[in-house]
Structure 1
Amino acid sequence: MAWLCTGNTNKELVDNLLDAKIISSNRVASAMHAVDRAHFSKHHPYEDSPQYIGYGATISAPHMHGYALENLQDYLKPGMNALDVGSGSGYLTACMAEMVGENGHVVGIDHIPELVADSQRALDQHYSAWTQSGRIKVVAGDGRKGYSDDAPYDCIHVGAASSNKPTDLINQLKSPGRLFVPVGSASQNIIVYDKDRDGNVKERQIMGVMYVPLTDPQKQRSDFL
């Protein structure tokens, strides 16, 4: 069902994700309704498939964003602090910002400065109140190391596949906190890492996926030349 959720409008796309039971939370649906994917993806924004956004990067398929928000919703409550690694277009970063509300804070980090600049322009144009208040910000940097300036985080989302267990990111989680990340190389799976109040970490596998690798900017650019 996941790949059958394409719509002609943002509302139709999100409603199709609801009908397919990919999302079921009212908070997730409201966030995805509030943030128009067309603000961040110029080509077929309401198609339920990954879309190329330049510099060797894609904006993930809407159903994957739905799965991510569903799994992170308990850690995206009003006032919470979140990190989006490999933020790319800035779309999911904005959805997360919608969910944490005016007293929350979300950082998007990407290692391609041009993508950071593009996402900043989209956010400034369509969600300027959020960028001006500090509710959301995007920065250029190596997301594999997280973003220690604003850590710790209630949750972290990673939009590219880590080759192994992302210890640096787990270390930047609050206790409790949650990390949603694709892990693997030839074979990848979404793994959710949960840190409890005592700092103990458990992991569980959600589904098999195929993401672009979480790598350095030079390799990302060269792989798509």
Structure 2
Amino acid sequence: MAWRSSGGSNVDLIENLWRNGLISDPRVKEAFLKVDRAHYAPSSPYMDSPQPIGHDATISAPHMHAHATESLLQHVLPSDRNPAPRVLDIGSGSGYLTHVLAELVGDRGLVVGLEHIPELKELGERNMAKSEEGKALLDSGKVRFRVGDGRKGWDEPPREEGEGGSSDRGWDAIHVGAAAVKLHQELVDQLRAPGRLFIPVEDDHGFGDQYIWAVDKKEDGSIVKERLFGVRYVPLTDAPKRS
């Protein structure tokens, strides 16, 4: 159904994703409608397909971003228990999903886009600044882009406003936008309890297959892993060496 979801405008694209059941939660639909993919995809932004963005990276197909957002949703939304959700977007690339997630975390939340290539970190910032809404997110500190090795996760201090000074830093939700060779324990360790990690992982039998895994850390600290479906992502690797 994914290939049928393309449209002639951002509204068309999101409505088709909704009609085809690839977006099912109204809050997710509303967040996607607020973010024009044309600011993030270099060509044919309303096609439901991945596109290259340079540096051997891609912006994923919109239906994959929809799957990820809905999988993480309950850990991204603010609540009485957690009014300031913290979300880490590893392999943030174009910055598109980083922006969508920021539309869901509420006024006190924080979303960090993490890239191992400085030029992609800067690309995400530039793309987000193309809209008034995105620029406001950057200016407020609600969205931050960083450079680092996503396989090791990231330690980010709380926002100056919103989170308490004694906050457990960690992450309520972690999204990984590139395929890992294994399920990196550092990412699981950085999950809050409760928290969820959404990550594509290469099959350990060496056949080149990749699968999305949802990894939940329960309130008691126990870990539950579920393999969801097969995918094809660019690898989560070292940054390219500079000549």
Q: TM-score range by the shorter chain?
A: over 0.9
Q: Which residue of 2 aligns with 1:190?
A: 212
Q: Which residue of 1 aligns with 2:235?
A: 213
Question: 1:155-178: CA deviations, max 9, x gaps?
Answer: 000000011112111111000000
Amino acid at match of 1:159: G
Gaps of 5+ in 2: 79-83, 158-168
Asked whether 1:109 is paired with 2:114, we answer yes
Give the TM-score taking structure 2 as reference length.
0.88
- Aligned partner of 2:223 among 201, 207, 216: 201
Q: Which residue of 2 aligns with 1:83?
A: 88
Amino acid at match of 2:52: Y
Q: CA deviation at 1:202?
A: 0.5
Question: 1:171-216: CA deviations, max 9, x gaps?
Answer: 1100000000001150110000000011111100111001011001
Q: Which residue of 2 aligns with 1:161?
A: 179
**Structure with the largest fraction of helix:** 1
Q: Percent identity?
A: 48
**Two-structure CA RMSD over aligned residues (Å):** 1.4
Pairs aligned (count): 221
Q: Which residue of 2 aligns with 1:22?
A: 22
Gaps of 5+ in 1: none
Distance 1:195 1:133 in 2: 30
4+ residue stretches of structure 1 with deviation over 2 A?
A: none
Asked whether 1:146 is paired with 2:168, we answer no
Distance 2:150 2:222 in 1: 23
1:3–1:63 CA contact under 8 A, matched in 2: no
Give the TM-score taking structure 1 as reference length.
0.95
Structure of greater Rg: 2
1:25–1:70 CA contact under 8 A, matched in 2: yes
Q: CA deviation at 1:41?
A: 1.1
Please say which of residues 117-126 and 61-70 is displaced more in the overlay.
Answer: 117-126
Question: 1:26-73: CA deviations, max 9, x gaps?
Answer: 110001000111111121111011000000000000000000011011
1:93–1:107 CA contact under 8 A, matched in 2: yes
